[in-house]
A and B are shown apart, each in its own frame.
Chain A
Amino acid sequence: MTLIKKIVDWIDVRVGIREVTEKELTGYLLPRNINAWYSMGSILLFAFALQVVTGMLLLIYYVPDADKAFKSVTSIMNDAPYGWLIRMCHAVGSNMMVLVLLLHMLSVLFMGSYKKPRELNWVTGFVLFTMVQGISLTGYLLPWSQLSFWATTVATNSASAIPVVGQYLVEFLRGSPLVGPPTLGRFFALHVAVIPAGIAALIGAHLFFLKRTGVSTPPFGQEDSTNQWQGDSYRYEGHPGGIPFFPNFALEDLRSVAIYMACFLAVVFFDPYLFFTRDSFIPANPFVTPAHIKPEWYFLANYQTLKIFPNELIGLSLQGAAMTFLALLPFIDRGRERHPLKRPLFLVCSIGGVLLWIGLSIWGHLS
């Protein structure tokens, strides 16, 4: 009897580890026609874990004080051992996470996996998406660079378009009439404590709903791609005769993570400045406004929408309506068909929406 077997036996008689392994790994069956898009969730979990680890390492040297923040980030980049690598991983990681999150949402959208009984999976996922945007926005200010300072100034200023409470809301967000040290304190607390805790809790809820409803069957390669759920009682969607999660799909997940890591590290080592502008490396100066301050790529469509409309409130309300529509999509789209090619109206609207978003982003970038 080997030492490992002895240890496993010791644990097994206490917590029944073999039963858990059988139920959650080797006996956890997934649809036979499962595809690589189902690995996006695992990539996101991995990316989030990487953000947490690199964020913790950055906290060792980062000083959340308006007078010292920029210097501390410069020191991380130049003096701390492998500080440049950790910071670049964190900065590039946040952008890549948004990208994978968008791909994950698109795959769920096109495969109709948001439909009942998975409304809660979609809603928690959607809230996670807005929280990831929030954590990116709050993290943007922390280096206290020109870009951080002015992007936050204009971002928080948008709230002033809301009638009656707008100005109070701006001051509440900033902690003072203008972006300053109190804003840094608030955004730091949100970035390192409040939002990560919220994201962790929502990931837990998202995975709980996934475990309770079971993995959805991809609509591709099947004669009947309609939703079979009747809505009469709780039913776990099992996949008898499917492939086991371990080792089959775990290996597929690992392969996807390795491909993601190759892309991620290529950006980190060869062109991390893809996500930085010159203003990112100049200390914040409230007296000098940079000529063309632009938001991160994933906010460019929102930025351009606000510029198109003469009234900022109309732009804000329109974005709010679009976001609300997306958040409530499973409650609005109640059709049973899941195959995208058998849903022409859905296909045209979603492709049109994606193209509109890309178009607005390019327009925002070039404007």
Chain B
Amino acid sequence: MIYCLNAMNLRARLCVFMMLALVPFLLPSVLCAEETAEPVCIQCHSKMPEKYSQPVTLWRGSIHAENGIFCNGCHGGDPKDAANAMSPARGFLGAPKEPAIPAFCGRCHVGVMKDYLASAHGRMLGKGGPTCVTCHGNHQVVKASLELINEKSCSRCHSFERARVIRAAMQETESTIVAIDQRINAFKKIGTDTEKLEKELFSVRNSFHTLFHNVNVELVKKESARIQADLKKIQVVLDRLDATYQRRKIAGAVVVSFMLLAALALHLLRKTFD
């Protein structure tokens, strides 16, 4: 009798346990599949032969991808409707002919287009001169930097001598901009509101980059000095932030020491009651 009761209890317990075991606890069930909201262009082209999928591969390593600018940002079309994605009725523009490239990019980069058209390069547009993609690339559009002015690239069309002088004049400013950008990013990574600083640097950088299309060495030197002064103001703000974080660490050392001393005092006090 006792054996039967024990066996029933055990069976009942096992049943309850099994039933409960089948009810999955949802709470800790974290992460597995990922959901994406990429445009249909990328979804289709990624699976196509290399000729058509290569633009996607190149784009993924571009400054556009980094900033969330998708295919439709330049080529138009409907990024949500695969059937009509490339319909001109939905604003699809396709790839521009060479003389139309500056206007194509210039829809967003208005100031840069103006600088380019006023430059020696721009004046040669349609006459064998370089367009935006000649130096910046097309799908793998790289971030505008002084690195773009290099012997290998410039020598494709002309001698590097003048470009070398211009690049040397800009080098210090470029290095300062890169260093400031890294400092801003480091602060951003720890939750500091860097929006204002980023905008200021963006503005200074843009102003600096307008010189990139210029071939007047004296003007480049004069403008670089003005830009350096603007960068100094940003550096002062960054130095102040550094000091703030340093003060926080000192305050931290004080409170942590206080807590450890309090723990020691409480421990000794506790011992007096033994």
Interface size on A, residues (CB 8 A): 71
Contact B29 A316 (CB under 8 A): yes
The verdict on A319 contacting B270 (CB below 8 Å), with A77-B191, A255-B263, A331-B13 known, is: no
Contact A258 B31 (CB under 8 A): no
1/0 contact trace for B64-86 toward A, CB 8 Å? 00001010000000000000000
A226: Cβ under 8 A from any B Cβ: no
Task: Report Cα–Cα, A161/B273, bound state, in Å.
Answer: 58
- A266 proximity list for chain B (CB < 8 A): 252, 256
- Across chains A and B, the number of contacting residue pairs, with CB separation under 8 Å, is 170
B28: Cβ under 8 A from any A Cβ: yes
1/0 contact trace for B176-206 toward A, CB 8 Å? 0000000000001111110000000000000
Contact B252 A159 (CB under 8 A): no
* Chain A residue, CB-CB nearest to B261: A258
Residues 9-42 (chain B) with a chain A CB within 8 angstroms = 13, 17, 20-38
Contact B30 A324 (CB under 8 A): no
B7: Cβ under 8 A from any A Cβ: no
Query: 21 A-B contacts, Cβ less than 8 Å apart?
Result: A77-B192, A77-B193, A153-B34, A154-B34, A158-B30, A254-B266, A258-B260, A265-B259, A266-B256, A273-B190, A285-B68, A287-B70, A289-B37, A299-B28, A299-B31, A312-B32, A313-B24, A317-B22, A324-B17, A324-B21, A327-B20
Listed stretches A106-114, A203-211, A244-252; interface member: A244-252
Contact B24 A320 (CB under 8 A): yes
* Chain B residue, CB-CB nearest to A294: B31
- A133 proximity list for chain B (CB < 8 A): 27-28
Contact B33 A154 (CB under 8 A): yes
A6: Cβ under 8 A from any B Cβ: no
B251: Cβ under 8 A from any A Cβ: yes
Residues 49-103 (chain B) with a chain A CB within 8 angstroms = 68, 70
B255: Cβ under 8 A from any A Cβ: yes
B127: Cβ under 8 A from any A Cβ: no
Contact A157 B28 (CB under 8 A): no
B248: Cβ under 8 A from any A Cβ: yes
1/0 contact trace for A253-289 toward B, CB 8 Å? 0110011011001101110010010101100011111
Task: Report Cα–Cα, A155/B267, bound state, in Å.
Answer: 44
Q: Of A254, A287, A321, which contacts B37 at CB under 8 A? A: A287
Contact A151 B30 (CB under 8 A): yes
Give B44 Cβ to nearest chain A Cβ, in Å: 17
Q: Of B13, B248, B270, which contacts A252 at CB under 8 A? A: B270
B229: Cβ under 8 A from any A Cβ: no
Contact B38 A287 (CB under 8 A): yes
Listed stretches A50-58, A228-236, A301-309, A341-349; interface member: A301-309
Q: Of B32, B34, B38, B192, which contacts A78 at CB under 8 A? A: B192
- 8 A-B pairs besides A255-B270, A270-B249 with CB distance below 8 A are A130-B25, A158-B26, A266-B256, A302-B29, A316-B24, A319-B25, A319-B28, A324-B20
Contact A155 B273 (CB under 8 A): no
Q: Of B26, B30, B190, B267, which contacts A295 at CB under 8 A? A: B30
Contact B259 A332 (CB under 8 A): no
Contact B30 A154 (CB under 8 A): yes
Contact B31 A276 (CB under 8 A): no
Contact A262 B259 (CB under 8 A): yes
Task: Report Cα–Cα, A265/B29, bound state, in Å.
Answer: 31
Contact A306 B193 (CB under 8 A): no
- A97 proximity list for chain B (CB < 8 A): none
Task: Report Cα–Cα, A285/B252, bound state, in Å.
Answer: 34
* Chain A residue, CB-CB nearest to B26: A159
Contact B32 A157 (CB under 8 A): yes
Task: Report Cα–Cα, A289/B33, bound state, in Å.
Answer: 12
The verdict on A262 contacting B263 (CB below 8 Å), with A248-B273, A294-B31, A307-B32 known, is: yes
Task: Report Cα–Cα, A133/B30, bound state, in Å.
Answer: 11
- A49 proximity list for chain B (CB < 8 A): none
Contact B21 A154 (CB under 8 A): no
- A324 proximity list for chain B (CB < 8 A): 17, 20-21, 23, 25
Task: Report Cα–Cα, A359/B39, bound state, in Å.
Answer: 38
B269: Cβ under 8 A from any A Cβ: yes
Contact A157 B23 (CB under 8 A): no
Contact A158 B25 (CB under 8 A): no
A45: Cβ under 8 A from any B Cβ: no
B165: Cβ under 8 A from any A Cβ: no
